[in-house]
Amino acid sequence: EQDSGALRITDLAFLPGGDELLVTDKDGELVHLRMDGDRLVRLGGFTLDDTWFDSDAGLISVAVDPRFAQNRFIYLGVSTTQQSNEIRRYTFDPDDYAATLASEVLVIEVTGERAPRSWHNVGSIGFTREGHLWALFGDKVLDQVAQDPHSPLGAVLRISPDHDADGGFDVPADNPYADGTGHPAVWAKGMRSPWKGFYDRHDGHIWFGDVGLDTFEEVNRVSAPGQNFGWPDIEGPCDDCGDTEAPWLAYGRGNSHPFVLDDPRATTSRLRSVWVGGRPYREDGDPDPYAGRWDDVIVFGDAFSGFVRATPVDGGGESYPVGHLHFATAMTQGPDGYMYAAALGTWPVDAPTTPSPIYRVELAD
């Protein structure tokens, strides 16, 4: 465990080729850190003053351009009003954070004009092997927009950010609605609040957790363009799914659920919030700190109860306990091959008193 110096970490991303990383704080600050053995050194950062951080809104996600060594681009997912979220591009200059902030350009804005609350916003963002940017967006508590192919809400988006000075994006030709029959940026639909997920570099699938309304939390896998995951018509398992994708797995919200009972440190709570973490990726010859035990599984957990479980990527939804982490908010792979996770320092989220910790995930003795 390492002290990040940030009160409410929502995401983290390592910069290529070294031991430096970026973390996002819910209140709007981007923090630049360097790993120094078992401690973190704060190098600097900057704040997005227009961040809307009510409820689960805020500065939520960060991604690094695949060609960062050439263009120095980073991307931030941020809530700007109760209704709107944006993905922005910055040219990162560690010697001049003010210049980094001033380099801001808009990539995409997603708005729910009638959104009644600051819920279900932009979630995880990242890049595919082809260099496309993918992003998770919630339904802004507008339910039926998740089934509207013309709406970017309640969806996984997939775009090609324009690298010119004006920003914006292009639409990949193989997007399901690239022909204009729906919103051209949409890759998949039918989500409620898909706040945490990752892109699997092994097979090109996007995994995400979808926070449910009353009954189920879902772990889902996007394996093809145009998939529909059912919300708000279906929540949780379905016997006759029709054209809807059944969840990879789903768990109920009760405190007597086996996932809770399997973890002696789990907290009983009426609240649930599923997250999905990463899966390590290695090139031939790279060291494996997990001795093969993380090769064919992904991890997921619940931020409120704290359980962490693994599910085999070819296992049809079975899972087993692997650890515990309360209020988890991020997980990514570092340059040393280890996975690193972040969590909120304290709860409630609106009154933090302890900095968010960052953990290196290691095998148990």
**8-46 tens-digit pLDDT:** 999 999 999 889 999 999 999 999 999 998 889 999 999
Burial of 218 (0-12, 13-18, 19+ CB in 10 A): buried
What predicted TM-score, i.e. pTM, was given to this entire model? 0.96
Q: Is the pLDDT of residue 325 over 70?
A: yes
Could you give the residue ranges of the DSSP H alpha helices within the chain? 68-71, 97-102, 258-261
Lowest mean pLDDT among 93-102, 312-321, 352-361: 352-361
Distance of CA 249 to the CA centre of its chain: 18
Please calculate the CA angle 25-28-30 and round it to the nearest 5 degrees. 60
Cis peptide before 348 (omega within 30 of 0): yes
pLDDT digits (tens, 9 = 90+) for 103-143: 999 999 999 999 999 999 999 999 999 999 999 999 999 99
pLDDT > 90? residue 153: yes
| Close Cβ partners of 103 (under 8 Å, ≥ 6 residues apart) | 89, 90, 91, 93
* Cβ-Cβ contacts under 8 Å for 303 (sequence gap 6 or more): 273, 274, 275, 326, 327, 328, 329
Q: What is the pLDDT of residue 355?
A: 80
**Of residues 336, 360, 333, the one with CA closest to residue 286:** 336
Percent of the chain's residues with pLDDT above 70: 96
Q: What is the DSSP letter of 339?
A: E
Which is nearest to 75 in space by CA: 42, 45, 108, 99? 108
pLDDT (average), residues 143-151: 98
pLDDT of 353 > 70? The answer is no
What pLDDT band is residue 348 in, cutting at 50, 70 and 90? Answer: low
**Low-confidence winner among 3-7, 259-263, 316-320 (lowest mean pLDDT):** 3-7
Half-sphere exposure of 326 (CA within 13 A, CB side): 14
| Residue bearing tokens 């609106």 | 350
Phi, psi of 358 (to 5 degrees): -120, 130
pLDDT band at 4 (very low <50, low <70, confident <90, very high): low
**Both tokens of residue 32?**
């630049």
Q: What is the pLDDT of residue 351?
A: 61
Question: Residue with structure tokens 């996975």?
Answer: 339
Q: What is the mean pLDDT of the chain?
A: 94
Give 213-235 pLDDT, tens digit per residue.
989 999 999 999 999 999 999 99
Spell out the residues 6+ positions from residue 313 whose beta carbon is closer than 8 angstroms to its own.
Answer: 200, 202, 203, 279, 296, 297, 298
Written as six digits, the tokens of 276 are 């999905």
Q: pLDDT category, 3, cuts 50, 70, 90?
A: low
Query: Which residue from 86, 79, 75 is spatially nearest to 57, judged by alpha carbons?
Result: 79
Measure the CA–CA gap between 356 and 40, rounded to whole angstroms. 12
Whole-angstrom distance, CA of residue 226 vs CA of residue 176: 5
- For residues 244 and 226, give the distance between their C-alpha atoms in angstroms, rounded to a whole number: 10
Say how many residues make up the chain. Answer: 365
- Domains detected in the chain: 2-361 (2.120.10.30)
